[in-house]
Structure 1
Amino acid sequence: MTSPSQANQAYWDGDAASYHAEHPDYLSSFYWCPEMLHEDQAHLLGDVSDSSVLEIGCGSAPCTEWLLTRARFATGVDISRGMLNHAAGALPLTQADALSLPYATESFDAAFSAFGAFPFLANIDVALQEGSRVLKPGGRFVLSVTHPMRWIFPDDPTNLTADISYFDRAYLEQDRDGNLTYAEFHRTIADWFQALQGKGPFLIEDIIEPEWPQGLSTTWGQWSPERGEIFPGTIIFVCRNSR
């Protein structure tokens, strides 16, 4: 049986070229979300000038590339070779699953994920424990994902009618033989709290719900000016490693 990791690795390998062709602006620098919140504005990682930073689910690593000129050291990891092949040359990147990070314990001062890896993992607890393990005690962990509210709306940026249960926690695609070809997982607000802090290894310091910026006309999957004007599309958790 194909695992979610295997299915999503194959999916993103196959979709990498079209994804980059469709989203050149978003992939041009360190943006936390489709609302185009830039780290240079948000400073969610804080002062990284003397920090080693890990990006989990880096894709083609525009965020890591941006950090390399600002942090003491930055690196990224992603499961998809197809996505990594679109990265700028000579970036220090690794192909690996977020469920088993190939780094020593307490290797990094900060870690983050900007819409990478975590929405596609069935076992979020293992991934968060891995993130905590490779972080130094008290290290910063920042995670941006699709806002849980968006799950109840279809993947059509013009549709404002909710018709999917907020408590349905998985979207799976299979081929004719029943093999998994794509997997995405939903967490409610309570699920995220429990995974990160309630039973998880982090302390949540802040939660950010970026507003849709005036003048942004992007229409993309779950995101559009029409939706952004009414309800959030992204949630960002700013945390500290409690180890």
Structure 2
Amino acid sequence: MREGAHPGRIAAYPAQNLSHEATRAEPRPLRDEVRRKTRKSTTMEPIIQESELPEPEATRRDANVTESSRANRGWWDRNADEYQIEHGTFLGDDRFVWGPEGLDEVEAELLGPPEELKGKDILEIGAGAAQCSRWLVSQGARPVALDLSHRQLQHALRIGGNVPLVQADAGVLPFKDGSFDLACSAYGALPFVADPVLVLKEVRRVLRPGGRFVFSATHPIRWAFPDEPGPEGLSVAASYFDRTPYVEQDEQGNAVYVEHHRTIGDRVRDIVGAGLRLVDIVEPEWPAWNTQEWGGWSPLRGNLIPGTAIYVCVRD
């Protein structure tokens, strides 16, 4: 069994030994505007929620690798309960959804035909409650679900299923070279790291030759628009080319949430610079059946501008 791949428990790698971050994502503008209510989990002992803390200040400023990792680890630990309550029904317990549009891997087949997933070793990065990994198990694959947030992985344990869970940093993957046939990440890790090339190089390292890595993130064009689901979210309000990170900070100026913007060109250069080959960029259209708003995602905006970009890469 691979290092850290132990079903039924969380294999943790100490934060002090890691310098880069991997989180599950629906941030701002990606993160989904988590409603600041105090809710109690009915299945696990609740932890301090963000709603119990002073309202952070939203700003645009630099945030390095260490600050980004620390902030997002804390944010997801505080907000995992709220997130799973709010979106658990949409995500399901064992469904592989690439983003708020609802594009399902069973239809998209971006990792390959389902029948070819059987027996494959697959790493899910920024797995959250491991919904995608649980679907992969149902296809006969052997996934490992990795996330920076211990609280998100506790939800994976709550839901159950025979999925190995690893708490670790996407920039320092605790696996041997060539451990996996495939890797995937649905809104995990890449939107939140200050050094995406480092994460991509790590993914390439743990993939076997011919292995595919598919990841989704907020479509970069969304950074030019307000994060609002209604008509006010349809007018350009900022420069698409402004790469200054979005930061929420406390009264002492310490970041409590960080998200990093990369243009489409930046993403392409990052992928190529990490030694991967980009074979496709998928921009899911908003389906007629999806009437749900998800933070800044909505049928109104989704029918006019893309909300998600999915990058399909290969390790030659």
What is the TM-score when the length of structure 1 is the normalising length? 0.96
Higher alpha-carbon deviation: 70-79 or 37-46? 70-79
Cα root mean square deviation, aligned: 1.3
The one-character-per-residue Cα deviations of 1:29-69 (angstroms, maximum 9, x if unpaired) are: 11011110111101111121131100011011100011012
The whole-number CA distance in structure 2 between the counterparts of 1:7 and 1:234 is 24
Counterpart in the other structure of 2:125? 56
Alignment partner, residue 182 of structure 1: 257
For the pair 1:27 / 2:91, whether they are aligned, the reply is yes
The residue type equivalent to 1:173 in the other structure is E
Map of 2:107 onto structure 1: 41
Q: Which amino acid aligns with 1:48?
A: L
Q: Is the 8 A contact 1:54 1:112 kept in 2?
A: yes
Q: Distance in 1 between matches of 2:70 and 2:140?
A: 32
C-alpha contact (below 8 Å) 2:128/2:152 kept by paired residues:
yes
Structure 1 residue ranges, 4+ long, deviating more than 6 angstroms after superposition? none
Higher strand fraction (1 or 2): 1
Paired position in structure 2 for 1:172: 247
Any stretches of 5+ residues in structure 2 without a counterpart? 1-63
The equivalent position to 1:217 in structure 2, one of 280, 291, 299, is 291
Spell out, residue by residue over 1:126-177, the C-alpha distance to the aligned partner (whole angstroms, 9 max, x if none). Answer: 1000100110012011011110111111221112112122122210111111
- Map 1:1-243 → 2, pairs under 5 A: 3-28=67-92, 29-46=95-112, 47-87=116-156, 88-89=159-160, 90-158=162-230, 159-169=233-243, 170-197=245-272, 199-242=273-316
Give the SS at the match of 2:235. coil
**Could you tell me how far 1:26 is from its partner in structure 2?**
2.9
- Secondary structure (helix, strand or coil) at the match of 1:36 reads coil
Distance 2:311 2:202 in 1: 17
Which amino acid in structure 2 is aligned with residue 91 of structure 1? V
CA deviation vs aligned residue, 1:187-217 (integer Å, no higher than 9, x gap): 10110010001x2221111111000001311
Alpha-carbon distance between aligned partners in 2 of 1:26 and 1:200, rounded to the nearest angstrom: 33
User: Quick check: 1:206–1:238 contact (8 Å CA) kept in 2?
Assistant: yes
Mapped contact 2:117–2:141 kept (Cα < 8 A) = yes
How many pairs does the alignment contain? 241
Max Rg structure: 2
- Between 1 and 2, higher relative CO (CA 8 Å, sep ≥ 6) is seen in 2
Residues 65 and 91 in structure 1, CA contact (< 8 A), matched pair in contact too: yes
Gaps of 5+ in 1: none
Deviation for aligned residue 1:17: 0.8
Letter in 1 for 2:221: M
Partners of 1:98 and 1:127 within 8 A in 2: yes
Q: Distance in 2 between matches of 1:80 and 1:26?
A: 21
> TM-score, normalized by length of structure 2?
0.74
Which moves more between the two structures, 56-65 or 83-92? 83-92
Give 1:80's aligned amino acid. S
